[in-house]
Chains A and B, each alone.
Chain A
Amino acid sequence: MTATEPSTAGPRFDGRRGRWVGASVPRHEDPRLLTGRGRFVDDIALPGMLHAGFVRSTVAHGHLTRVDLTAVRAVPGVVAAYDAADLALGDVVALLDRPAEEFTPTAMPVLARGKVRFVGEPVAIVIARDPYAVEDGIEAAVVEIDALDAVVDEETALRASATVHDEAPDNVLLDVSMFDTPGVDAAFADAALTVEVTTRSGRQNALPLETRGAVASWDARDDQLLVQTCSQVPHQVRTLVARCLDVPERTVRVTVPDMGGGFGQKCVVGREEIAVAAVARRLHRPVKWIEDRREALTAGFLAREQRYRTRAAFDADGRITALDVDVVCDMGAYSCYPFTAGIEPLMASAELPSVYRVPAYRVRGRALTSNKAPTAPYRGVSRPQYVVAIERVMERAARELGLDPVEIRRRNVVTEFPYTGVNAVTYDPGTYRESLDLAEATIRDEGWYDVRDAGDRHVGIGYCCFSERTGYGSEAFAKRRMTVVPGFDLSEIRMDTTGAVVVTSGTMNHGQSHETTFAQIVADRLGIDPGRVKLRQGDTERIAYGWGTFASRSVTIGGSAVALAAERLGERLRHIAAHLLDTRPENVDLDGDGGVVVLDDPARRLSYEDIADVAYLRSHLLPKDVEPALTATASFDVPGDGTFSNATHAVVVEADPGTGAIRILRYVCVEDCGVVIHPQVVDGQCRGGIAQGIAGALFEEVTYDAHGEPSAASFIDYLVPTATEIPHVSITHLETPCAFTENGAKGAGEGGTIGAPAAVLNAVNDALRHTGVELDTTPIHPRTVLDALEGP
């Protein structure tokens, strides 16, 4: 383990032969994105292309009594309009392999059928010659709804005065008591201190700046539907489109161009993508749908609304002796594919003990359905919430016991690895304690405690220490008992006659710089310049299957698969070169400069071009046991419970007694994502994640009124932080290489978002420490802060 500042961007880990891994090389993606030559879904124009839009429910809950599209079809420019009965598509169904008392299967129709379940739910699709005529057509639709009471929160859901899905009369889609280990009650009985904290997080939008969208077209020659969409999971889109249309999967090809962010909102399959595909196939015309911002805010997949009631027992020294937690997640109107409505409570239940040694653990997790837009697993999934729960518990206990908040964490944090927790998860080595110590030392050395204790301002310091499981392999996902189990990733590598390389991955870049970082990994394995490596993703014809990009899995799993494929190609190059150089395979090696060299006679060498020339154009010269072509394939899966990145965030805030606004004075992140492939990119992931975490802590929320009407339909109502709200963030990297990924990396995509809410919330509470008020809900509204400062 070494501590390094991000700016010292030299190579420091040899990915076997490392020259490129560890260096902040120029991003391969930048030139096209900076000059307007990127291609996003809405940039695609096909001959004869039509445009689609959706008639959406204006009522949160009700029976559809009439859908009349006659007037729509008469609008100038409108080509067609369809409702659920017209398209007759299969439903979207995501399942868990769990008994009926734990999980209730429900279906999401592609277009609403019989009932509407949230404001914004698609009822009909309108096709027209341009997007303006689409809007005219949508306005002409006649939709009559017999309104029912809306389920809008935990109370109305559990009271069950209205039922969102008939299959779930109590509005509970998942109810799992995952752990009740021996000794929980005894620990509470013997506790020197018991604390109970109820934490809540508001409903948020992951908010990729590029909204969702798709262009579908039918190729009559190939007998194939092409769906160009912005999805983090192209293969899952293909699988579900084929199932909903009831066609062979071969007849569907999904490709993904440049993507303007996703953050999880695009890691589930949207019903609109399926409807657009169905219409293109029916009309034999290309059809484009681009979600507008109002739709994205109200009808896109939302996230985060959760409530945790956490009871914790402590001994007199501040050591935690038991946890008893009740988790309730408001998943909205439908279960998302492929993850299901169970994803949030199941992840929270499995991982809630976090970075602490917890001897006894009881947890119940529930997923509720409500008349709100459905949810998708947003960056961090339930970790930002359960980390808030456990970190608030630590703060409360520290206060009750008169301990320093960092000291109580030190007494509880896991320090011996591998560590198998009460939750039956084995944690690989990390720097939990080291990151905590370093973050605190930084804040102390910079004098922030003196600023806080000067007493003339409302300044507070907050910490958050956490880990993040990143490499969820199929074994780890199987424990969750989904019927669709993500995990592995595939890669194929090809070298052409000029020695340049194309490598595929089932992961899906949407801002994470895969084209650069994967090229660095391959370049080191083959000893070539990263500029010689082109990454191909996002084409279901090029990759047999893949699980896309989510859960910080890309570099850990996808990056390992490309490393292995490159390694195998290297073996092939050595084998052929040895034959051509008339020596033993053990007597040659890759020379790190695009060739193979004879070890005992380094003057003798073949470049990759020389070898490729034989492999393709003069294959009669190949060894008898070698097939033509320079290709290799590999798969990679993470064994066991996966790997854990970790970090400590430390935040200094100041509350404004005039406005209640919270200003962040200092933000320190000490993180360990294993081997850093590209320091600048990792810093970018941390900072961007932290910005989204701050957004959740202080600004963003979609609320609903008692009728299920959402509050935020524009950026006037949904407060996205800007350059003046997000502070400078300094980042220090600790490196604990992962023992079982090919490149030692652990994944860095989500950590920032996970740590920020708890760190900010703790800092605000510290700033309010003299008021007697403790806040456990995010976002923190200025009014709440003002009320606390003004007192009763």
Chain B
Amino acid sequence: MNDPHLLTLTVNDTEHEVVVEPRRTLADVVRHDLRLTGTHVGCEHGVCGACTVLLDGAPVRACLVFAVQAEGADVRTVESLDHDGALSDLQQAFSDHHGLQCGFCTPGFLMLAEGVLGEQPDASREDLREALSANLCRCTGYQTIVDAVHATACSRREARA
């Protein structure tokens, strides 16, 4: 049952071949095999959301997904957001609004927010607050995270209009 599998994973548009035990989580493969350590692990039981990544555009807990389940999917992590070091609009909004302190939960919130903004581009501030309640932050009290995501939603709506 623990026999290793050869796996092809597409992460941030790059294909990787990895050999993993079937029980190895997507979070561990991304972090420790691919060395994309921006994705963090906070609880390993799917509650805190620090490990949130996008799987075919939808936010998922990478600690609850086995790596073998992600084969053939498009996996996106926090490392995909900036462009050669230039922050994305969402990342910049987090900085502008002080939506991060220690930064440990931040990649999970960024990926959750990207997923939510993709799925619900017209979400209201209260919709966003509700959606962001999926993840835990211990530093900020959430207000500035909601501010940052709401500001991004508004600016993207304006850009669309």
Max chain B CB contacts within 10 Å: which of A24, A261, A263?
A261
Per-residue CB contact flags for chain B residues 124-136 toward chain A (1 = under 8 Å, else 0) read 0000011011111
**How many of chain B's residues touch chain A, expressed as a range?**
35 or more
Given contact pairs A688-B141, A722-B142, A31 touches B87 in the complex (Cβ within 8 A):
yes
Given contact pairs A210-B40, A292-B44, A691-B142, A33 touches B100 in the complex (Cβ within 8 A):
yes
Minimum Cβ distance to chain B for residue A530 (Å):
15
Are A43 and B141 in contact, CB atoms less than 8 angstroms apart?
no
B143 at the interface (CB under 8 A from A): yes
Across-interface contacts of B66 in A (CB, < 8 A) = none
Q: Which residue of chain B has its CB nearest to the CB of A77? A: B2
Are B133 and A260 in contact, CB atoms less than 8 angstroms apart?
no
A-B contact pairs, 8 of them (CB 8 A): A35-B82, A260-B42, A263-B138, A511-B103, A691-B141, A714-B43, A715-B43, A722-B142
The 7 closest A-B pairs by CB, nearest first: A36-B38, A260-B104, A33-B103, A511-B102, A691-B141, A687-B141, A715-B47
Minimum Cβ distance to chain B for residue A782 (Å):
18
B106 at the interface (CB under 8 A from A): yes
B31 at the interface (CB under 8 A from A): yes
Are A38 and B136 in contact, CB atoms less than 8 angstroms apart?
no
Q: Which of A26, A43, A688, A725 meets B101, CB within 8 Å?
A: A688
Q: Which of B40, B91, B134 meets A40, CB within 8 Å?
A: B40
Are A687 and B138 in contact, CB atoms less than 8 angstroms apart?
no
A444 at the interface (CB under 8 A from B): no
Per-residue CB contact flags for chain A residues 675-688 toward chain B (1 = under 8 Å, else 0) read 00000110110011
| Contacts A43-B37, A722-B132 supplied; 9 other A-B pairs, CB < 8 Å | A36-B78, A36-B107, A40-B37, A132-B21, A208-B138, A209-B136, A209-B139, A688-B101, A723-B130
Q: Which of A38, A132, A261 meets B138, CB within 8 Å?
A: A261
Q: In chain B, residues 132-157, which have Cβ atoms closer than 8 Å to a Cβ of chain A?
A: 132-146
Q: Which residue of chain B has its CB nearest to the CB of A694? A: B141
Minimum Cβ distance to chain B for residue A720 (Å):
5
Q: Which residues of B contact A (CB under 8 A)?
A: 21, 23-24, 28, 31-32, 35-45, 47-48, 50, 77-79, 81-82, 85, 87, 91, 94-95, 98, 100-107, 110, 129-130, 132-146
Given contact pairs A30-B95, A34-B100, A680-B98, A209 touches B142 in the complex (Cβ within 8 A):
no
Are A37 and B38 in contact, CB atoms less than 8 angstroms apart?
yes
Q: Which residue of chain A has its CB nearest to the CB of B39? A: A36
Main secondary structure of the interface of A (DSSP, over half): loop
A391 at the interface (CB under 8 A from B): no
Cα A690 to Cα B36 with chains together (Å): 33
A513 at the interface (CB under 8 A from B): yes
Across-interface contacts of B41 in A (CB, < 8 A) = 42
Minimum Cβ distance to chain B for residue A14 (Å):
24
Across-interface contacts of A723 in B (CB, < 8 A) = 129-130, 132-133, 142, 145-146
Across-interface contacts of A684 in B (CB, < 8 A) = 98, 101, 139-140, 144
Minimum Cβ distance to chain A for residue B44 (Å):
6
